[in-house]
Amino acid sequence: MFDPFVRYYDLDYGAFDDDVVFYREMARLYGGPVLEAMCGTGRVAVPLAQAGLTVTGVDVSAAMIERAEAAAQAAGVAARTTFVQADLRTLALEAQFGFAFVAINSLMHLETTADQLAALRALHALLRPGGGLALDLFNPDPAALAEVSGSWVLDKTFTVPTSGHLVQKFVARTVDVAQQHIDVTFCYDEIDAAGQVQRLVLPFGMRWIYRYELEHILARTGFVLESVYGSYDLDDYTSASERLLVVARRVSTQ
């Protein structure tokens, strides 16, 4: 599903690094090796490896994994990284990890409670007793979400370095507050020098999670809550926070 998205993924998200220091310090606190679930093209995994950590990245997209391996090779950290194509819900690896995380909003791609529980149980099984887990989600505001429902918005523009083509990214969201669900469509219009347009349309669904709902499913899968933050700078979580950033610890066998 997300393989075609690889063409624009790094151009769209690759410059974002606000969360890297947070994950680096959490990994140092809990100890390695580190597991990044739903790792994409290695946006976080590669900088963590550059910081001296041993990192395994997992993603369901073969194209994302291929790009992550290339990024690690280019950064000179291939020896400290392993990338695996797999579905997080059924993930099984030989290694055990000291710290695992799911970066910005990726857990929301699991659209049912059953899928979320399956993913958390898989992560639990891969963590050592006492190992840490960090989950980064946006802080849901149903009123604000309802305001953007059904409208197309020009989200950003950027240039493809290899061709000089201009890309305009449009985003549409349809929000179902009762189901805590968002149908999202990304539309990338790539415009060449002659004005010809190549369009990539990427529809997908996401389900947001509230704080105490998240605490509940963590407890059901053998984790105990350690901290809840509202930012990567460890600000207190409030209703005005942009992020819902949860750190938990494995404490039992599931």
Each residue's pLDDT tens digit, 147-161: 777 788 899 999 998
DSSP code per residue over the chain: --GGGHHHHHHHHTT--TTHHHHHHHHHHH-S-EEEES-TTTTTHHHHHHTT--EEEEES-HHHHHHHHHHHHHTT-GGGEEEEE--GGG---S--EEEEEE-TTGGGG--SHHHHHHHHHHHHHHEEEEEEEEEEEE---HHHHHHHBT-EEEEEEEE-TTT--EEEEEEEEEEETTTTEEEEEEEEEEE-TT--EEEEEEEEEEE---HHHHHHHHHHTTEEEEEEESSTT-PBP-TT-SEEEEEEEE-S--
Query: Token pair of 71, please?
Result: 């990024």
> Is the CATH code 3.40.50.150 the one for domain 3-139+209-250?
yes
One-letter amino acid for residue 75 of the chain: A
Q: Is the peptide bond before 47 cis (omega within 30 degrees of 0)?
A: no
> Is the CATH code 2.20.25 the one for domain 142-207?
yes
The residue ranges of the chain whose pLDDT is under 50 are: none
Is there a contact between 109 and 136 (Cβ–Cβ < 8 Å)? no
Query: Token pair of 200, please?
Result: 């990539």
In the chain, CATH 3.40.50.150 sits at 3-139+209-250
Task: List the one residue out of 102, 85, 83, 77 whose CA is nearest residue 26.
Answer: 102
Query: Token pair of 7, please?
Result: 């063409």
pLDDT at 14: 76
In the chain, CATH 2.20.25 sits at 142-207
CA distances from 41 to 5, 6, 75, 229, 248 (A): 11, 8, 13, 26, 25
State how far the Cα of 6 lies from the Cα of 83, in Å rounded to an integer.
16
What is the distance between the terminal CA atoms of the chain, rounded to a whole angstrom?
A: 31
Secondary structure of 201-251 as H, E, C letters: EEEEEEECCCHHHHHHHHHHCCEEEEEEECCCCCCECCCCCCEEEEEEEEC
